[in-house]
Structure 1
């Protein structure tokens, strides 16, 4: 049984697998936040910069910074043509290298279940955001079946092959997000579900995108060709097929936002 943890170290592979999903959910998330222009933003767990790019392109930020532990992801992010103003840092979500109140808004996009201690990560975001500022996140509902790779992972598990889940898959549940934000002392907390559908040219397009990253690629590489063929057949049953040969899949994430209390 393959017991590799879910990790993302290859920015290009992540872009093929998750970049489009991230933008689909990220657009809805930013519409929901509806922030004013001219803010200083921090993207915690920025990965390859997919969401950082949305901030830069859509929000007219005064400043935008991203932080991530992966050099490979950050290298890809720094090469994005859509984020020339962004400054990227290698670092830990649980020990942000920024001063108290340095930003107007801090976000975690599809990250919170990867943070070893989510409460520390949320507390750090609250610390580096100025009073009255926004702390927000959205994350695939891992336990509820909302993860875009769920059809592949579900069948891998059924066949005895699967990567380990992220450290805290339940952190993305609505009730847990609410508790994390309350415990961090944030106020005006709101939550919502984000539903997205991604369309693919055909099943081969879906398969390439969903198996190109380090989440499942090692497990599939270790399989015999006939086992891979069986897996493909089983996965295909979870997709919606169109008359033109295209396929689509639905995923969903949970989102939360709150404010750092104003000083009395």
Structure 2
């Protein structure tokens, strides 16, 4: 009963479209110089670990002017989607906790919405640090599943009313890494310096209930995979309860928000 990550189009409809605006704010945070540190300059080598369909990879290409960007993911279906849309990047099949890449190669190592899905997430952060060059920025973002990712929070709260077993699949309690304190500890534990976290929040507006519900039927990710295993009657009951409960604007749209937690640090030179 694991999570399903294979079909790029279904993932894009479910989460990929919301990852892109988060990625834009995240990359800006890394590249714009601040009072306390320089930003990642143009012409640097980037790695996107757990790149999925390429939402973050594409943002780096568009906004950071990298000399090179490599994306690594275990899903060959996601990698096929990424390659089709991002020919300027290089993509490699691999595990974020055992990256098939040389030590000290990258000036920026990033990961978007993937770290919590890696068994033993500290091993992945250790790998991020291993492949980072001296002085490199190492950063990631994950959804705030517990309270901040409202489209999923509404779903799991309703699912639990019909099925107590839903709690076992709910990303909120499943992924303790998705909190700022846990992220900071993981970065410090990997020997990265200056670890800091910040929230990134975006609007997630659905045109109507079907726009909200249809992506949950695509089978990609914990909630859609859980839903696909239910009987038609139980799926219909969850759908109807959500339809009645979700807030509506006067035009019938559903205006929610999504919050991610981001973390960054740097490798000692």
Structure 2 residue runs of 5 or longer lacking an equivalent are 32-39
Alignment pair present for 1:5 and 2:2: yes
State the alpha-carbon separation in 2 of the partners of residues 219 and 114 from structure 1. Answer: 16
Q: Give the alignment partner of residue 138 of structure 1, picking from 123, 126, 141.
A: 141
Contact 1:115 1:168 (8 Å CA) reproduced:
no
TM-aligned CA deviation for residue 204 of structure 1 = 0.6
Contact 2:216 2:227 (8 Å CA) reproduced:
no
Normalization by structure 2: what TM-score?
A: 0.88
Which residue number in structure 2 is paired with residue 247 of structure 1?
Answer: 254
TM-aligned CA deviation for residue 117 of structure 1 = 1.0
Q: Give the alignment partner of residue 201 of structure 1, picking from 190, 197, 207.
A: 207
Which residue number in structure 2 is paired with residue 38 of structure 1?
Answer: 43
Alignment pair present for 1:109 and 2:112: yes
State the alpha-carbon separation in 2 of the partners of residues 222 and 93 from structure 1. Answer: 28
Which residue number in structure 1 is paired with residue 236 of structure 2?
Answer: 229
Normalization by structure 1: what TM-score?
A: 0.90
Per-residue Cα deviation, 1:177-224 (whole angstroms, up to 9, x for no partner): 010011111112211011111111111111112332333344434545
Alignment pair present for 1:123 and 2:120: no
Contact 2:69 2:90 (8 Å CA) reproduced:
yes
Per-residue Cα deviation, 1:105-139 (whole angstroms, up to 9, x for no partner): 11110111111111110111111111111000000
Contact 2:195 2:265 (8 Å CA) reproduced:
yes
Which residue number in structure 2 is paired with residue 192 of structure 1?
Answer: 198
Structure 1 residue runs of 5 or longer lacking an equivalent are none
State the alpha-carbon separation in 1 of the partners of residues 97 and 229 from structure 2. Answer: 34
More helix by share: 2
Instruction: Report the secondary structure of 2:177's partner residue.
Output: helix
